[in-house]
Amino acid sequence: MKIGVPKEIAAHETRVAITPTIVKQFTKNGFQVLVEKNAGEGSNFTDENYIEAGAVIASRKDVYESDVVTQINPPDLADVKIMKQGSVLISLLFASSNPTLVKACVDQKISTFSLDAIPRTSLAQSMDVLSSQANLAGYKAVILGASKMGKIFPMLMTSAGTIKPSTVVIFGAGVAGLQAIATAKRLGANVWVSDIRPETKEQVESLGGKFIEVKGDDSIKLEGGYVKGVSDDFLKKQQEAVLEKVADADLVITTALIPGKKAPLIISDEMLSKMKSGAVIVDMAVSQGGNCQSSELNKTVLKNGISIVGEGNLPGTLPINASELFAKNVLNFMLHLTEESKFKWDNEDEITNGSLLIKEGNILQDYLKDVNSLQEVNLN
């Protein structure tokens, strides 16, 4: 079975889906890997590295004509049209908000596995690209924030006096938030955390953070570890509860995302006006609309003396580690789906059932069958 690895063409993308280290493991398991020329240059992997690992350097056309194409971002429609009928696409698809891509895969009669749809179960942990990338993003968010601040994180006692530790406020105690807590604590900051899920309190405190409690209500909808919905009324209560901490914060990190929907607004311009000059906000949800009203994608905005960092691809700022983890996730996923280099197509398997969106042009997931009326989507 030939696995094709194209060069990522999305703006600000530096990662690659398969690294030379993982190429060796694929070939050891009976796969042939075709890598597009210069696919790994953004992650400091040369074509020579891939060749030494056993890969074949190929054209973009040859890569997309492979039996399996694996990449990080959703493919371009023109690239989908190159794929052969019956081949398999494995990538982040975000299918609910990408109906034209779903329609293109259906028309091309290919099978698609969406990496963002892998269920968050114990068995699937080693395949969970969202978690592996969020872990790195949480770390980098703290480092970015620290580089923008005009002060240090830890308490420092000097002959000239004592420097007080910085205050960091983190919204969300998911994978990214927990890594941000751990990183900020290691750097010596006082860390306060807000999350709408009360069960995260214990995790926050185990990392040395202090939990800001807000009483939940019936509007909070959880599914598979994700927050699927929350009312405006609850968000208002949350804003009121954290306002005092945010007003005193040196760094605020927001991580709140709702899959398939615009990110919830957490820091309004009104709240921003109560923050102190010199503070920094890192909006990790900026690529989905942002948790901060004034954040802008891939820009750092200065407003009222506050720096608002809107880096849209934090894992991409750590491309070596991010690519290695992503590639390992993909390897584990492929080995789970196949046997003797052939797909098992086991729909009784929870991981297959959750992540297989389309099989040979047939949509399998009910939630996709009416995505913006696929039959009405114009691909021209």
Which pLDDT belongs to residue 214? 75
Which one-letter DSSP state was computed for residue 292? B
Which pLDDT belongs to residue 324? 98
Average pLDDT, the chain: 92
Assess if residue 96 is contained within a domain. Answer: yes
Same domain, 111 and 141: no
Residues 99-139 have pLDDT tens digits of 999 999 999 999 999 999 999 999 999 999 999 999 999 99
Assess if residue 131 is contained within a domain. Answer: no
Which pLDDT belongs to residue 227? 55
pTM: 0.91
Residues 151-192 have pLDDT tens digits of 999 999 999 999 999 999 999 999 999 999 999 999 999 999
Same domain, 69 and 7: yes
**Which residue in 287, 289, 292, 290 sits closest to 307, CA to CA?**
292
Reported confidence tier of residue 357, pLDDT bands at 50, 70, 90 = very high
Could you tell me how far CA 127 lies from the centroid of its own chain?
13
Which pLDDT belongs to residue 99? 94
* Domain C-terminal end among 317, 340, 358: 317
Same domain, 306 and 171: yes
Reported confidence tier of residue 221, pLDDT bands at 50, 70, 90 = low
- Rounded distance between C-alpha atoms, residue 105 and residue 36, angstroms: 21
Q: Is the pLDDT of residue 29 over 50?
A: yes
Which pLDDT belongs to residue 41? 97
Reported confidence tier of residue 196, pLDDT bands at 50, 70, 90 = confident
Assess if residue 46 is contained within a domain. Answer: yes
- Rounded distance between C-alpha atoms, residue 169 and residue 162, angstroms: 22
**Pair of tokens at residue 148:** 């923008």
Assess if residue 356 is contained within a domain. Answer: yes
Q: What is the CATH number of the domain that holds 185?
A: 3.40.50.720
Which pLDDT belongs to residue 220? 56
Reported confidence tier of residue 217, pLDDT bands at 50, 70, 90 = low
* Domain C-terminal end among 317, 332, 350: 317
Which pLDDT belongs to residue 376? 41
Which residues are known catalytic residues? 120, 125, 128, 131, 226
Q: Is the pLDDT of residue 9 over 70?
A: yes
- Dihedral (Cα; 166, 235, 140, 199), 10-degree rounding: 90
Host domain of residue 17: 2-117+319-368
Instruction: Give percent of the chain above pLDDT 70.
Output: 93
Same domain, 277 and 342: no
**Pair of tokens at residue 293:** 């009203």
Q: Is the pLDDT of residue 308 over 80?
A: yes
DSSP secondary structure string for all residues of 222-260 = EETTEEEE--HHHHHHHHHHHHHHHHT-SEEEE----TT
> What value does the mean pLDDT take over residues 311-320?
97
Same domain, 105 and 163: no
Residues 367-379 have pLDDT tens digits of 898 754 444 433 3
Which pLDDT belongs to residue 241? 80
Same domain, 302 and 155: yes
* Domain C-terminal end among 293, 317, 341: 317
Same domain, 171 and 200: yes
Which pLDDT belongs to residue 53? 98
Assess if residue 109 is contained within a domain. Answer: yes
Same domain, 26 and 105: yes
Residues 321-336 have pLDDT tens digits of 999 999 999 999 999 9
Number of separate domains in the chain: 2
Which one-letter DSSP state was computed for residue 160? T
